[in-house]
């Protein structure tokens, strides 16, 4: 994997909008948080475009992404928001062009399309981390500053990433390249030229939100039938907020996960708050070696630096 350069104080970070439009107040608050972190936020005026349910036409969004990526003065790109639309950029992006200047791209949710494309089809480390709306805009209530800085500013392994709510569903100890993102986007890529196609013995991180248990079950079954679950050495689930059945008697997301991985051959963890979470979101580097352990405490251990 190609690694972006470690971020340094004063580096310029471009805010891009690969997916849906966003609230201007959240954008401005997120920009201020980037400044508080010691970086210089920059953005193309096209970031404020609107085209129905996306932030400008695919051509406008892809061109802005490419300009930021190819600008030697810009060290990293961060998404303003998820929603929908990042997959529309992929036919207009060139893996060879992207590989010439590897940079950090930070986002989650719908931006999984770009995170996974950078990993699988470009061979570049990417970051499942906070966007502006709902995360940086809320300051430290919205994202975990420690893992953000550990992953993006230090040319050394980020080490142990865990949380009090993280629990083992299946015990074990396994290593592999950490990959994944929001399950909806990973599965939507299958059958396309941009398919999520991980190597055998990888560590799979699964994020999702707002999917009722039967829909979550359907997606996990598709993951299994596509052979992607069987390739994994370990699986780490996010908190899966708003995925429980409404009411007191319905199945929970955790129930669905436990049943889906009942015969899985490696460790499975549930409840790592990266991406969709009601609390502060952790940052995870995708494309580096990681270890999943269940004792003495459940944890994801990043064993390789994500930046150079």
Which pLDDT score is estimated for 39?
A: 98
Task: Answer yes or no: is 55 within a domain.
Answer: yes
> Rounded to an integer, what distance in angstroms lies between the CA atom of residue 19 and that of residue 269?
29
Do 148 and 197 belong to one domain? no
Domain final residue, candidates 97, 124, 153 = 153
Do 274 and 184 belong to one domain? yes
Which pLDDT score is estimated for 249?
A: 80
Do 140 and 89 belong to one domain? yes
58-92 confidence digits (pLDDT tens): 999 999 999 999 999 999 999 999 999 999 999 99
C-beta separation of 22 from 132 below 8 A: yes
Task: Answer yes or no: is 1 within a domain.
Answer: no
Do 195 and 293 belong to one domain? yes
Residue 112: pLDDT above 90? yes
190-249 confidence digits (pLDDT tens): 999 999 999 999 999 999 999 999 999 999 999 999 999 999 999 999 999 999 998 778
Which pLDDT score is estimated for 181?
A: 98
Which domain range does residue 238 map to? 159-302
C-beta separation of 23 from 17 below 8 A: no
Do 16 and 144 belong to one domain? yes
C-beta separation of 299 from 167 below 8 A: no
Which pLDDT score is estimated for 158?
A: 98
117-160 confidence digits (pLDDT tens): 999 999 999 999 999 999 999 999 999 999 999 999 999 999 99
Which pLDDT score is estimated for 286?
A: 99
Mean pLDDT across the stretch 271-289?
Answer: 98
Tokens linked to 184: 């909806």
Mean pLDDT, the chain, integer: 98
Do 144 and 22 belong to one domain? yes
> Rounded to an integer, what distance in angstroms lies between the CA atom of residue 45 and that of residue 48?
6
Do 135 and 186 belong to one domain? no
Do 181 and 144 belong to one domain? no
- Residue 184, classed as helix, strand or coil, is helix
Domain final residue, candidates 103, 134, 153 = 153
Domain final residue, candidates 122, 153, 184 = 153
Give the CATH number of the domain where residue 130 resides.
3.40.50.10740
């Amino acid at each position: 994997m190609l690694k972006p350069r470690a971020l340094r104080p004063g580096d310029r970070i471009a805010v891009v909008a690969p997916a849906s439009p966003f609230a201007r107040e959240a954008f401005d608050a997120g920009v201020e948080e980037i400044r508080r972190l010691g970086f210089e936020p920059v953005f193309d005026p096209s970031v404020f475009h609107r085209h129905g349910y996306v932030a400008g036409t695919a051509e406008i969004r892809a061109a802005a992404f490419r300009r930021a990526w190819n600008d030697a003065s810009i060290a990293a790109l961060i998404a303003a928001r998820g929603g929908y639309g990042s997959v529309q950029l992929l036919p207009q992006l060139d893996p060879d062009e992207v590989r010439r200047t590897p940079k950090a791209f930070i986002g989650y949710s719908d931006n999984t399309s770009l995170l996974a494309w950078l990993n699988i089809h470009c061979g570049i480390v990417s970051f499942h981390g906070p966007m502006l709306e709902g995360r940086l805009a809320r300051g430290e209530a919205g994202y975990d500053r420690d893992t953000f800085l550990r992953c993006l500013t230090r040319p050394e392994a980020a080490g142990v990433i865990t949380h009090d709510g993280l629990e083992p569903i299946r015990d074990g100890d396994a290593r592999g390249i950490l990959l994944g993102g929001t399950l909806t986007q990973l599965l939507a890529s299958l059958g396309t030229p941009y398919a999520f196609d991980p190597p055998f013995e990888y560590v799979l991180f699964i994020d999702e939100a707002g999917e009722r248990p039967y829909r979550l079950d359907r997606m996990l079954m598709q993951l299994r039938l596509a052979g992607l679950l069987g390739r994994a050495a370990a699986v780490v689930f996010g908190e899966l907020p708003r995925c429980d059945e409404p009411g007191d008697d319905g199945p929970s997301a955790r129930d669905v996960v436990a049943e889906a991985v009942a015969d899985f051959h490696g460790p499975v963890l549930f409840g790592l708050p990266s991406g969709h979470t009601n609390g502060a979101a952790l940052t995870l580097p995708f494309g580096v070696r990681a270890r999943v352990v269940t004792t003495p405490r459940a944890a994801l251990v990043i064993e390789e630096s994500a930046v150079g």
